[in-house]
């Protein structure tokens, strides 16, 4: 469904992504793993058109999307849960969720999805009338994911959802992603928590200094020498 071909990105002439290519098939759970500054966030921002690539193409369901503005990409069904959650602090939790459904027209349907989100994340229902700023880090992440799902996306992109969470909590978030995938949403996740993520995903890509240096099934990558040495310190 998503086909990224040879994209390269520079910030002020400094190359950040260098001929990056990867594929996400419908229904898959795909991860891009890499260390700090590898360029993970830049990949997602490029897909969402917050950053523009100077070369390469991006196809979504066989249609070029690399020249569309961000809001049209969202309307095509790509939801981007950004790094650092980026909750709208001064909006209530319910309003945050409804903004997530901005691209949808049928308000009745939207309210149904809202109830689904409340079922998936009960804390959000309890706190729905409170401002986003009152949430803790873990709750914010739940809200950010739920807000992304409110669009009923065909592809959900998550930028380090485990960032800043305790190991238990980050495991829980990553397992929630797995649950969401089982319900039928395709997921592209970028993460530093290599082990937890690679255990669960169908396909993984390893990004190092802006280049994809390895790809394969999640389990296979975990077994590989490179991952074991570079990321797990074994």
Partner 1 sequence: MDVTIFLQLVISGLLIGFVFSLIAVGLTLIWGVMDILNFAHGDFLMLAMFSAFLMFANLGVDPVFSLPVIVGLLFFVGLLTFRLVIKPVLGYHALIALLATFGLSIFIRNVVLFFLGPDFRVINQSVLAGKRISFLGLHLSLPQLVSAIGCVLITYVVYLFISKSKFGRALRATALDKDTALLMGINTNRVFALTFGLGAACVGAAGGFLVNFYYVFPEVGLNFAILSFVIVALGGFGNIGGAFLAGILVGLVENIGGFFVGPEFKYTLVFILYLIVISLRPKGLFGW
Ligand X SMILES: Nc1ncnc2c1ncn2[C@@H]1O[C@H](COP(=O)(O)OP(=O)(O)OP(=O)(O)O)[C@@H](O)[C@H]1O
Would you tell me which residues interact with Mg ion (CB under 5 A)? Answer: 40-41, 83
* Cβ atoms of residues 145 and 173 within 8 Å: yes
What is the maximum alpha-carbon separation in the chain?
52
Number of residues that bind ligand X (CB under 6 A): 13
Regarding 161 and contact with ligand X (CB under 6 A), the answer is no
Regarding 36 and contact with ligand X (CB under 6 A), the answer is yes
Among 23-31, 35-43, 96-104, 114-122, the segment contacting ligand X (CB under 6 A): 35-43
Among 29, 33, 40, 113, binds ligand X (CB under 6 A): 40
Among ligand X, Mg ion, partner 1, none, partner that 91 touches (CB below 5 to 8 angstroms by kind): partner 1
* Cβ atoms of residues 86 and 135 within 8 Å: no
Regarding 13 and contact with ligand X (CB under 6 A), the answer is no
Rounded CA-CA distance 113/46 in Å is: 28
Binding mask 33-52 for partner 1 (x = CB under 8 A): ---------------x-x--
Residues in contact with ligand X by the rule CB under 6 A: 11-12, 16, 34, 36-42, 83, 192
């Amino acid at each position: 469904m998503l086909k990224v071909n040879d994209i390269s990105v520079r910030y002020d002439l400094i190359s950040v992504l260098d001929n990056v290519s990867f594929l996400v098939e419908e229904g898959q759970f795909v991860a891009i793993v890499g260390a700090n500054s590898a360029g993970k966030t830049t990949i997602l921002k490029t897909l969402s058109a917050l950053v523009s690539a100077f070369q390469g193409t991006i196809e979504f369901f066989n249609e070029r999307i690399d020249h569309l503005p961000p809001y049209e990409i969202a309307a095509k069904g790509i939801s981007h849960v950004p790094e650092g959650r980026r909750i709208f602090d001064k909006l209530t939790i319910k309003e945050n969720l409804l903004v997530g459904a901005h691209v949808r027209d049928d308000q009745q349907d939207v309210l149904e999805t809202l109830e689904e989100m409340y079922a998936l994340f009960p804390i959000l229902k309890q706190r729905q009338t409170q401002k986003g700023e009152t949430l803790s880090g873990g709750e914010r992440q739940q809200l950010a994911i739920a807000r992304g799902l409110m669009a009923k996306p065909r592809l959900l992109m998550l930028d380090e959802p485990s960032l800043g969470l305790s190991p238990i909590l980050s495991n829980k978030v990553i397992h929630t992603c797995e649950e969401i995938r089982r319900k039928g949403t395709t997921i592209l996740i970028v993460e530093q928590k290599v082990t937890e993520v690679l255990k669960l995903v169908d396909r993984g890509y390893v990004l190092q200094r802006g280049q994809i240096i390895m790809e394969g099934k999640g389990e296979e990558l975990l077994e590989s020498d490179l991952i074991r040495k570079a990321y797990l310190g074994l």
